[in-house]
Structure 1
């Protein structure tokens, strides 16, 4: 198939983009066979080099190896997340173990590791540049954490564990996607649409049309941008309960998509993985390579916000109960009631109605706002390239140019929810930046916004706008990367540092000067009125107790599950009992239950690491204060320092040192507590 396989031919599209129109699922397995063999040959050649190991013939050569494989994997996982199909899912299941086995074989290659280890042992005498030394240290750690130092029998078992985990991660993610894409709450009458404002009705109508359900039908899906507004506005309590149970029940049901046993097996294998490394539990193993370093440090942070958040949520609960009383409701407050009555309480307290706000936040204008902020901060220009085709018609391409007009990279954006696309929002790289390889980055942002009706713009909630800016913060981290070696590029930093650029960028979306310029009514072009802006600012912290508890509860359960030496007999009961011990109010719930917690179980990326968003929030709030202290949120000197110390450095600098270089000191927690409105609860 090699002569006809487009994946094995040169990619001639602009910027080396993949030939999406020609790619079929059946192309991947033979292409991977070729790429895996080529990479094995490269690894063997580096290991067999007759010259003594040096930086060029070992570290730089290893960093440059496997380029065909890297391109294929980036493409494969992009399509599997954003434009999957039954055939592609089958290919993903078939390739999960072989790809994991290749990774293990690479990082357990004893001939290659001996050369890397020899360099590591004499690193103080090699005269390396700071970036070269950082690369050596990170690559050596990659090998040791992948099992290179284990005894032969242990290495074989470790490789088998990792292969099985790859299979389970794939099954977990596909089960969640099946539950999400298969759910439809049809609303066929005015009675079933009661309470829904025009923007929710339009999005539900469009979702029905996207699914071929014809005219006059409205559908609520499990897309966050659709189900959360439904829970906030629907006057039909019975339908809110149905939607809520489907939302929280993903992966927790008997049948083909039941993830309970998969979660248990993943936890068991991770515990074994940790034991092979000499750790008592997986949490200890995972945290060794983080800024936090220990469970104690993580739990200290979570506990510092838990009690203030409980106190804030208790105050919010009184407001919610007041809204229930005002509405004549006599039933108990249940989880599917909270958002509905919280929205009414917010309206009453701040005279703020989301249906009044949303027309000012069209997707196109908010994309323009995020580009404008990047231009003002970093001098970037964004040139639309409608001629560059993506994997779906929704994908938009932009050339990113430096202030002098030179090419910085390519930015792709895929904003809409679709049935064959996984939920959530994320950034990934189709190609990472590398000066040594001559690579400019190709960065992709995925969101899952509910598409507006035909002929009307897609309108975003304030939370949606935050998501848009958040993912673009990750995108800027990839686009502004300026390192020599690919392993250190962009977002390939420690997990509890990677969310700093993304969460920091969220701050600009709420700046009055940004909103006044770009938040304009989609029908009248009227700018956001001062009175409405004032209401938005006043209401910004309302509900933060509830949201903080939901996030922190998920982080607590994650850490507790991965701190066990053996998996729980029942993951659902374990989750329930853990939250009961912490005193989580029943009406609050958690952001992600274990059975659909993709951060934890579709890969190991955030396993024993969901806390990182809060850890990074300490960093981002303190970092944004540098702009506030300068008297200008677009201060050029602070922006230049941010670019140099954080965004361009990638993983070429230890993250604590990078933050100190930007801020002049270690981070402090008070700006985060203030931003969430929790300082009052601390006092």
Structure 2
């Protein structure tokens, strides 16, 4: 092992780590040393003989721990994107270390007392600007919710709970990744893949060889229940094999996750009780824009019945068209057939018009340039953690540097399913950083170096994740803990959802939606037909999402001491009690592969997507009124919302941008739901009891 490049700040552009020199063991070494240094820095803050000031307490706290921060952010980016066996071994040691370190920080009575002393002497008497006051408020709340007010025996129990939860979450993720690879479906004959295009079949051949099969075709799985190929596979038997492989992940065997999930949920409930809450969900809602758990449940109770009713109407249409009741594995295929018949939209036939490079440069980047004036220059000189990773330097309209964007687009066995955004640097002015952000997707790797052709959902995902990237790139925060996407979970999806609106905006689509062989533009009426067809399938899509949301809240509404012995039975009961029929529409994620909530930051927060979509739908109407992707609109949205991060209450940022609170009616129209009697308020109304990457 050579010298550890993480031990010192990187001298590369924008401070990007020198991944070419980082070995797996470097992450753990840097984290261990960084934790020790951080505790020493915090001890100096806590014992500073000088009178407490904002500079020597809260600002000093924000400056501390830079080595640990570098190591953790680098590892947190690489591990889910390229989880080799060596990195997974490091992860098993690193997560308990990080958990114990967080406890050492938040449960330090001297440090907490030092920070709180400035507050108790009256922050109003100290001349703080808006961002400084926000930092003090958020920091002290974090300490309180992490257990700073507990007595010593309670703190010791909390440390044990946190350590075990961290261990189990790592185990869940490891099992899930191995289980996804093991559940990939091997087909022996090309006839079984009838309906897939030649590029997809070639990718299946390559995937089979990569996985060690001497012949045949391998369809790998993505994270959600619904697999993209289900829409195009013509043989019902093939669809069934793929669907059942997806639905059965985590149920048993060496890769079983159900028992791990149940233990995580029970321990989270016990921890919530120790902290004075009735459930983990109640604890989580303390940090969100939603006013209460009851408000979230009330909103879901409003949305579930019309969504399920829409899904049942769609099922009836599918049954009539097919001439028999439609099985769950047939739904996507039959739904696509109805879309073709009713709206002349064939999603599979549209793929040649959506080639990755064109969508990225002439669509995603072009929209950002039109709205915000920023430009992109690819950098091939920077080291990456995998050969597929690409980097672009992002510049302001005047040519000054803004940050760095990394794109990691293709699926591989070492990558977790789904799509996400990460930050390697936060763009906090206190630390003189410029942002470095990543987008990670799971597009099937084209065989033989051919073009990567995208489905409409993948196009949408590309725009969605870049919305997160813009949120990080535009950070104008002073303090790293308030910068970029460091906002409440039920707000963070909002900017990314808004960015989806540009995916099929006519002026942008005319530039990027061109046939990858002929260069011909998408037929003029195709966009209109796609929009006309938008409401078809919303019953299914909304229902499968809401079912996953209800499942998340069910697991995280367990009372302290409550345990679940039969996770599948618990899941089924929770869904049916809420009005769902999982035999008709399975949830988007089941307990066995719900990575968002068992090894990510969405525990009791998967509702965030629909909660944020209230803001999103209202904002889409505003952008449409402004004339679309125009600089004047982008300037306002960037200044009042994207750049602000958590430097003020995010709903205050929304009102500053929109001029009023959000209204729910645009969301109801978008989702095709019946009108709901409600006051014209946003997703977090001022009065109590007034949701996220999918």
TM-score range for the pair, normalised by the shorter chain length? over 0.9
How many angstroms apart in 2 are the aligned matches of 1:212 and 1:226?
Answer: 25
Question: Does structure 1 residue 281 correspond to structure 2 residue 295?
Answer: no
Is 1:372 matched with 2:366?
yes
From 665, 669, 672, the equivalent of 2:667 is: 672
Do the aligned partners of 1:311 and 1:681 also contact (CA within 8 Å) in 2?
no
**Structure 1 residues 116 and 681, CA gap change in structure 2 (3 angstroms):** closer
Per the alignment, residue 555 of structure 1 pairs with 549
Name the SS of the counterpart of 1:191 in structure 2.
Answer: helix
Structure 1 runs not aligned, ≥5 long:
none
Match of 2:605 in 1: 609
1:494 and 1:144 map into 2 onto residues whose CA distance is: 17
Alignment partners' CA distance in 2, 1:625 and 1:540: 16
After superposition, what is the alpha-carbon deviation per residue over 1:224-273, rounded to whole angstroms, capped at 9, x for unaligned?
699723211212222222211111222111x2221111111111111111
Are the equivalent residues in 2 in contact too, given 1:646–1:658 (CA < 8 A)? yes
TM-superposed deviation, 1:187: 2.4
Q: Write the deviation string for residues 634-654 of structure 1: whole angstroms up to 9, x where unpaired.
A: 243332221111110010010
Q: Which of the numbers 566, 584, 589 marks the counterpart of 2:586?
A: 589
Give yes or no for contact 2:406–2:438 (8 Å, CA) kept in 1.
yes
SS at match of 2:431: coil
Match of 1:489 in 2: 483
More displaced, 97-106 or 583-592?
Answer: 583-592
Displacement, 1:9?
A: 4.7
Question: Which deviates more from structure 2 when the two are superposed, residues 265-274 or residues 179-188?
Answer: 179-188
Q: 1:532-681, aligned counterparts within 5 Å?
A: 532-565=526-559, 566-585=562-581, 586-603=583-600, 605-630=601-626, 632-679=627-674
Aligned counterparts of 1:225 and 1:37: Cα–Cα separation in 2: 40
Which of 327, 340, 349 lines up with 2:333 in the alignment? 340
Q: CA RMSD in A?
A: 1.9
Contact 1:319–1:342 (8 Å) recurs in 2? no
Q: Secondary structure at the match of 2:450?
A: coil
| Kept after mapping to 2: 8 A contact 1:224/1:448 | no
Shift of 1:194: 2.3
Change (3 A) 1:27 1:543: same
Do the aligned partners of residues 510 and 226 (structure 1) sit closer, same or farther apart at CA in structure 2, a change above 3 Å counting?
A: farther
Q: Identify if the C-alpha distance between structure 1 residues 671 and 614 changes in structure 2 by more than 3 Å, giving closer, same or farther.
A: same
Q: Tell me, in whole angstroms, the C-alpha distance in 2 between the residues paired with 1:206 and 1:556.
A: 38
TM-score, normalised to structure 2, is: 0.94
Match of 2:165 in 1: 165
Mean Cα deviation higher: 7-16 or 405-414: 7-16
Q: Is the 8 A contact 1:469 1:506 kept in 2?
A: yes
| Cross-structure match for 1:353 | 346
User: Displacement, 1:472?
Assistant: 0.5
Question: 1:322 touches 1:345 (CA, 8 Å); kept in 2?
Answer: no
Contact 1:225 1:464 in 2 (8 A): no
- Which residue matches 1:28? 27
Q: What is the aligned residue count?
A: 673
CA-to-partner distance for each residue in 1:441-485, whole Å, 9 max, x for gaps? 110100001122324210111110111111100000000000111
On the 8 A contact 1:309/1:681 being kept in 2, the answer is no
Q: Name the SS for the 1:408 alignment partner.
A: strand
- The 8 Å contact of residues 483 and 648 in structure 1, kept in 2 or not, is answered as yes
TM-score by length of 1: 0.95
- What residue in structure 1 maps to residue 423 of structure 2? 429
CA contact (8 A) 2:184 2:245 kept: no
Query: Shift in Å at residue 493 of structure 1?
Result: 0.3
Any stretches of 5+ residues in structure 2 without a counterpart?
Answer: 679-694
What CA distance in whole angstroms lies between the structure 2 residues aligned with 1:306 and 1:532?
A: 32
2:381 aligned to which of 377, 382, 387: 387
Match of 1:102 in 2: 101
Alpha-carbon shift at residue 341 of structure 1 (Å): 1.2
Within 1, Cα distance between the matches of 2:219 and 2:118?
58
